[in-house]
Structure 1
Amino acid sequence: MEIGDDHRFWVKPWIRTVRSGDLDAVGRVVAEGRARGGVPATAAVVSCYEAGREGFWIHRALTRGGIQNRVVDSSSIEVKRRARRTKTDRIDAGKLLMLLVRVCSGERGAWQEVRVPTEAAEAARHVSRERTALRKEQTRLGNQIGSWLATCGCGVSRRARRTAAWWTTARDWQGERLPAPVQARIARAEARLAVLTAQITTLEEAQRAATQTAAPESALGRLVQLKGVATTSATILLDEGLVWRAFRNRREVGGLQGFAPAIYSSGTTDRDQGISRAGNARLQAVSIQLAWNWVRWQPLSAITQWYRAHFGERRRARRIGIVAVPRKLLIALWRYATTGVVPAGALLHPVRVA
């Protein structure tokens, strides 16, 4: 595509459709495009695509083919604000092309790009993500069993539900045994729960084994030395990119997590919309858990002292203010994992001597 300083020199974009996964076709189209543009075969080729279900294999394939590719966060692409706007693949391709030209021309802020993990880092995070998914399924099944019991007027505590075949002795509101179909359904759900529990145990054992073999000066070895940081939490932090994203400053670390103020100020309108939930959802969930653990097990740390000074001991204030802790804590953990600088006032577990 040729670009001139005057609008008369603009050339209509040349659009070709390539079937997904057909890398040979991509090479042919690139060669044909170079020929049409009259550029040498060694001319640089720049491409982009929206991050999505396909992941990063497309980026790696294009990069190995000599193409300078960029993976774009789709939510950062500017769109018209009309309620009914025209949207087609051709329009989206043209929009991406114009944004790519602007970025290659040196414009900053046209979009936000996604940091591409290494193949090893991408594969490693399957363990923590699978565990999270299994935990959610485990909770869902447990709640579902409780709902089935409620329809029969039967209240069985979770502790009592740990015994074998507990549903055969449970009684409904009349003191009768549960109907046979209900018992059969609970039995099947309990069988699925047993499988989930076994799989979760296997994954957690693998995480603990990785922690035990990790070098003390490694990122994982450092994080688990801190009181209040469990193996599971440390693994999720690292899998979601606390280290491999290679942050340059604390602002980038905070941007990954989110929980930033969403201020709306325009003309005479000035209001606070609360915090923005934009960010890594997995990181947000584990950071809230870490924040509660931190203020409990690290009472002498600077972060805990700041939290207590601002929000006191009132329960409501503490529940609101805890959202301010994860951002500070994540930045402190990032510095500790990458540089070894211990968070101010933090306590470490005693070093185990073999």
Structure 2
Amino acid sequence: MHENTEFPVPVYAAIELSKTTWLIAMLSPGSNRVKLRQVRGGDAVGLVALLENARMNAERLAGAPAGIVVCFEAGYDGFWLARFLHKHGIRTSVLDSTSFLVNRRSRRVKTDRLDAESMVQMFRSFDLGDKTVCREVRVPTPEEEDAKRVDRERLQLSAERTRHVNRIRALLNLHGIRDVKNLWGGDWREWLRAVRTADDRPLGRHLAAELGREFERLDLVHQHIRVLDRQLEDGLENGTLQVPNVEKVHQIAALKGIGKLSAVLLVSEVFHRQFANRKCLASFLGLAPSPYASGGVKHDQGISKAGNRFARRLLVELAWCWLRYQPESDLTKWYRSSFAAGSGRSRKIGIIALARKLAVAIWRFVEDGLVPPGAAMKAAAN
């Protein structure tokens, strides 16, 4: 991730981040005793001063040049701190907390102090070559991080729109009204004044007011979605969207059943990276099965869900779209022969498997130009 500068005397530090306090656990060279220090949450300058003081103390005691090696968990604070520390010459690793090896006792004691102490000892083992104890997260560039904002905001707005639509339908359903008008535009105010309940009454005053506020919020979400869609279209046209590997966006969007927004999200979240093989891709997406093998018992526990949740959710949605818009593709025929005649649970399991296969097929398409067997391209792309 960063320059792998080696120091004769390395001082390891793990930061347990929170909103109010940053707890720093430090291991001095040749010692297993963990020292704990605190700085105010968000005080990066104070953190650098504390780490620099620890470095100078280590140099004085060892009589040799010392350096700080820092780690913290990926999470709420994002990646800005890693960039800040790197600018100050401090080698920093961001760790995936889901990859940590933990004690398998039935009740695991958890405090910030214990977490920090465990993380610094584990990180020292990792830095010295034991890559099984945890996994490092690649820190994206500011441009890569910013490029994800449009599609992620669009996903959030889409989910918010669904919540408002469901709320409106639920409120009206309480009074026997199942045919709801103007959810996607139109004069909903006039419709609310004219609609009557199933027992032929006008809407109650408070119910009508609540529905009006819900429709107003829904209208605002519609407006924001239209703005983002226009920004996406214009950005792809004039090259100002700043999505890495934008040529892959146009390539993926040429497949039937995959829109431009979905293609942007796939590239910005997944396909701007390099993967060694299909298993690495499935693992990154959290779509790889989790095996369970103990004695004579062997089975899969389902997908790990440890990867990119935005891309995983999108790929499941695209798998359903693929069945509709790519009926002659080999993937669709495989799904129908294996799962279409099964139960609802079986079909849902099958769609996850299809999402994994679809991700691999798209990866091969963008990397090697191999069109998924039997897949149709959009007419405009021919």
**Same fold by TM (over 0.5)?**
yes
1:185 aligns with: 210
Are 1:281 and 2:313 counterparts? no
Q: Whole-Å Cα distance in 1 between the matches of residues 171 and 196 of structure 2? A: 13
Partner of 1:18: 39
Q: Which residue of 1 aligns with 2:16?
A: none
User: Hey, what does 1:324 align to over in structure 2?
Assistant: 353
**Which 5+ residue runs of structure 2 have no aligned equivalent?**
1-8, 12-29
Do the aligned partners of residues 234 and 160 (structure 1) sit closer, same or farther apart at CA in structure 2, a change above 3 Å counting? closer
Unaligned runs of 5+ in 1: 4-8
**Once the two structures are superposed, what CA deviation does each residue of 1:298-351 show, in whole Å capped at 9, x if it has no partner?**
344343343344345667555442221111211221232244343334332345
**Residue range with higher mean Cα deviation, 188-197 or 265-274:** 265-274
Q: Judge conservation of contact 1:218–1:337 (CA < 8 Å) in 2.
A: no
Distance 1:352 1:242, change over 3 A: closer
Residue 17 of structure 1 aligns to a residue in which SS? Answer: strand
Decide which of 179, 201, 220 is 2:226's aligned counterpart: 201
- What's 2:157 paired with? 134
Q: Secondary structure at the match of 1:18?
A: strand
Q: CA offsets, 1:247-270, max 9 Å, x none?
A: 233222111222322332212444
> Is the partner of 1:328 in helix, strand or coil?
helix
- Given the alignment of the two structures, is residue 115 of structure 1 paired with residue 138 of structure 2, yes or no? yes
Q: 1:229 aligns with which of 247, 258, 267?
A: 258
Distance (whole Å) between structure 1 residues aligned to residue 227 and residue 64 of structure 2 = 52
Q: Partner residue of 1:79? A: 102
Is the 2:165–2:183 contact (alpha carbons within 8 Å) kept by the matching residues of 1?
no
Quick check: 1:48–1:72 contact (8 Å CA) kept in 2? Answer: yes
Q: Distance in 2 between matches of 1:42 and 1:350?
A: 65
Specify the code of the residue in structure 2 equivalent to 1:49.
F
Paired letter, 2:207: V
Cα distance, 1:11–1:297 mapped onto 2, change above 3 Å: closer
Shift of 1:51: 0.8
Q: Is the 8 A contact 1:141 1:189 kept in 2?
A: yes
Which whole-Å deviations, capped at 9, do the CAs of 1:82-138 have from their partners, x for residues lacking one? Answer: 444332222211111111111111112211222222111111211111111111111
Aligned residue for 2:148, secondary structure, equals: helix
Question: Which of residues 311, 332, 338 in structure 2 aligns to 1:310?
Answer: 338
Instruction: Measure the CA separation in 1 of the matches of 2:150 and 2:87.
Output: 27
CA distance in 2, matches of 1:234, 1:42: 49
- 1:194 Cα offset (Å): 0.8
Deviation string, structure 1 residues 204-235 (Cα, Å, up to 9, x no partner): 12222233345998111111111221112112
Distance 2:254 2:184 in 1: 36
Partner deviation per Cα, 1:52-73 (whole Å, 9 max, x = no partner) = 1110001111112222211111
- Per-residue deviation, 1:11: 4.7
In 2: Cα distance, 1:87 partner to 1:180 partner: 51
Distance 1:36 1:160 in 2: 66
Q: What is the SS of the residue equivalent to 1:286?
A: helix
Kindly tell me the number of residue pairs found equivalent between the two proteins.
347
Percent identity, aligned pairs only? 34
Cα pair 2:270 2:311 within 8 Å, conserved: no
1:336 counterpart residue number = 365
Aligned to 2:15: none
The answer to whether the 8 A contact 2:56-2:66 is kept is no
Q: What SS does the aligned partner of 2:41 have?
A: coil
Query: Alpha carbons of 1:251 and 1:158: their partners in 2 closer, same or farther (altered >3 Å)?
Result: farther
2:267 partner amino acid: L
Higher strand share: 2
- Whether the 8 Å CA contact 1:225–1:349 is kept in 2: the answer is yes
Give the CA deviation at 1:2.
Answer: 7.5
Q: Secondary structure at the match of 1:66?
A: coil
Given that 1:31 and 1:41 are in contact with CA atoms closer than 8 Å, whether structure 2 keeps it comes out as no
Q: Residue 35 of structure 2 aligns to which amino acid in structure 1?
A: W
> 306-315 or 73-82, which moves further after superposition?
306-315
Q: TM-score, normalised by structure 2?
A: 0.81
Q: Choose the corresponding residue for 1:242, options 251, 271, 277.
A: 271
Tell me, in whole angstroms, the C-alpha distance in 2 between the residues paired with 1:2 and 1:208.
Answer: 50
What is the alpha-carbon distance in structure 2 between the residues aligned to residue 28 and residue 167 of structure 1? Answer: 62
The answer to whether residue 322 in structure 2 is matched with residue 294 in structure 1 is yes
Contact 1:48–1:70 under 8 Å retained in 2 = yes
In structure 2, the CA distance between the partners of 1:217 and 1:347, relative to structure 1 (3 Å rule), is: farther
Check the 8 A contact 1:2/1:10 in 2, yes or no: no
Structure 2 CA distance for partners of 1:217 and 1:258, relative to 1, 3 Å: closer
Is 1:59–2:82 an aligned residue pair?
Answer: yes
- Is 1:167–2:196 an aligned residue pair? no
Match of 1:28 among 38, 42, 49: 49
Greater shift, 98-107 or 40-49, is seen at 40-49
> TM-score, length-normalised on structure 1?
0.87
Instruction: Please list, as runs of the form range in 1=range in 2, the aligned pairs for 1:33-48 lying within 5 A after superposition.
Output: 33-38=54-59, 43-48=66-71
Q: Which 10-residue stretch deviates more, 305-314 or 57-66?
A: 305-314
CA 298–69 in structure 1, closer or farther in 2 if over 3 Å, else same: same
Question: CA separation of 1:119/1:339 partners in 2, compared to 1, >3 Å: closer, same or farther?
Answer: farther
In structure 1, what is the Cα distance between the partners aligned to 2:98 and 2:269?
Answer: 19
Among candidates 137, 147, 150, match of residue 124 of structure 1: 147
